Amino acid sequence: MATVTLKGNPIHTSGDLPAVGAAAPDFVLTGGDLKDCSLRDFAGKRKVLNIVPSLDTEVCATSTRRFNEKAGALGNAVVLVVSADLPFASKRFCTVEGLANVVPLSMLRSKHFAKDYGVLLEDGPLAGLCARAVVVLDEKDRVIHRQLVPEIAQEPDYEAALKAVRG
């Protein structure tokens, strides 16, 4: 269990992020077309998992925009934005914002992703949503970078994540 804060107030997560060097837990998340997606759908690519509580918040929207801006230059990589938002809302957000370089994925059908990645918020006003985190996976789904953002209202370290993607 890890502890993050929301405006200085401690909130506990369900566990810890997977360790650098570990195999990433597989997942089943829901895409904007309501189809299930898993790691194998992005096989052979580096993956940036931009994990956010909800795209309906300023910081989550900002991080998604920033990763979208940088994603076009990443080459053999994909940015997956994981939230508890409904797939319709995530897809609409990306469409309205013109964000074509990120893939929004929803925990609509299960919170296994959040539990397996240790980011499920266990208490506080956002209980049931994800903590803000970034996990970068290599082409073989090994963790090469991870950051649990200590304050939910803060943005992640974009440069550290992008450096990991570039190798």
Tell me whether residue 60 is one of the annotated catalytic residues: yes
Cβ atoms of residues 61 and 102 within 8 Å: no
Measured CA distances, 158 to 11, 79, 95, 134, 138 (Å): 23, 12, 22, 9, 17
Tokens coding 79: 């940015």
Per the listing, tokens 């890890």 go with 2
Measured CA distances, 61 to 31, 82, 148 (Å): 18, 12, 17
Active-site residue list: 60
